[in-house]
Amino acid sequence: MNKFISTLIFGAALLAAADKPQTFTGVITDTMCGAKHTMGITPDDKCVRECVKMDPKKWKYALLVGKDIYVLSDQQTPEKFAAQKVTVTGTLFEKTKVLKVDKIEAAPAASGHAGHSH
């Protein structure tokens, strides 16, 4: 019984840790093109917006961090940051690759690398 309770408490602690907001730095893209904007629409910000507008039920705004693409829970704010480097604060659901957005802001120009912090 004690082992079960210890396991339960440990599991709850892991879940709580996963729910902590994190900071991610990357580029606002869409789930259709990801890192490769192939529609030939320049600049890229127009491509991102057009892809999402084409079928908003199918294509979503997302954050490109390195080679990883995370679908953003907030689908309004990213429009003004299309194809721009941003910092997103939120909770990542690893299994679904959905990033529950708390805040999106322009990334500082001096930020040297894309990634996320815990």
| Token digits of residue 54 | 């084409």
Find out whether 28 and 114 touch, Cβ atoms under 8 Å: no
From first to last of its 118 residues, what are the pLDDT tens digits of the chain?
Answer: 555 554 445 444 445 445 689 999 999 999 998 888 666 665 689 999 999 999 999 999 999 999 999 999 999 999 999 999 999 999 999 999 999 999 999 998 764 445 655 5
Give the separation between CA 30 and CA 82, rounded to whole angstroms. Answer: 9
List, in sequence order, the alpha helices (H) in the chain.
2-18, 44-54
Q: Is this structure's pTM higher than 0.85? A: no
**HSE (side-chain half, CA atoms, 13 Å) at 64:** 19
pLDDT of the residue at 34: 87
C-beta atoms surrounding 27 within 10 Å = 19
pLDDT of the residue at 108: 86
**Domain map (residue ranges) of the chain:** 22-111
